[in-house]
Amino acid sequence: MQAEQLKDLVVNSLEDVKAKDISIIDVRERTSVADFMVLASGTSNRHVRSLADTVIAEAKERGVPMGNVEGAAVSDWILVDLGDVIVHVMMPATREFYDLERFWRDGPDVDEAAGGE
């Protein structure tokens, strides 16, 4: 699966389970680690876990090789490494504290998805 298709799969999966504030950052010109970073917020620790689980299930169903999943035990911030796409699902306070969008702000935003209500 191409990076663009994988990014779309991740965003659609997150939207299906009502992720908040989905942000896509194109990091192809900044790092060789991944092509895209997708960030999203959940409304509770349980929601954050559900968002990550949904992304993982959809990726596995499509045969996407899984990398590491970090933070699942705590659920304030779960990172899902899908190779070309790295997914960060966080509680809003955690996302604000670490402010990854600012860290990667020099990378062009690909899209700002509504991410539900």
In CATH, what number is assigned to the domain containing residue 76? 3.30.460.10
Residue 89 in domain: yes
Instruction: Note the pLDDT tens digit of each residue in 33-92.
Output: 899 999 999 999 999 999 999 999 999 999 998 889 999 888 899 999 999 999 999 999
Report residue 102's pLDDT band, with 50, 70 and 90 as the boundaries. Answer: confident
User: Considering the entire predicted model, what is its pTM?
Assistant: 0.85
Contact 23, 40 (CB under 8 A): yes
Q: Round to whole Å and give the CA distance between 26 and 94.
A: 21
Contact 38, 21 (CB under 8 A): no
Whether 103 shows a pLDDT value over 70: the answer reads yes
Residue 117 in domain: no
Residue 66 in domain: yes
Q: Round to whole Å and give the CA distance between 68 and 99.
A: 22
How many domains does the structure of the chain reveal? Answer: 1
Whether 110 shows a pLDDT value over 80: the answer reads no
Higher pLDDT: 24 or 112? It is 24
Residue 108 in domain: yes
Contact 42, 90 (CB under 8 A): yes
Q: Round to whole Å and give the CA distance between 113 and 19.
A: 10
Instruction: Quote the domain boundaries for residue 28.
Output: 3-112
pLDDT of 73: 84
pLDDT of 114: 42
Q: Round to whole Å and give the CA distance between 108 and 89.
A: 20
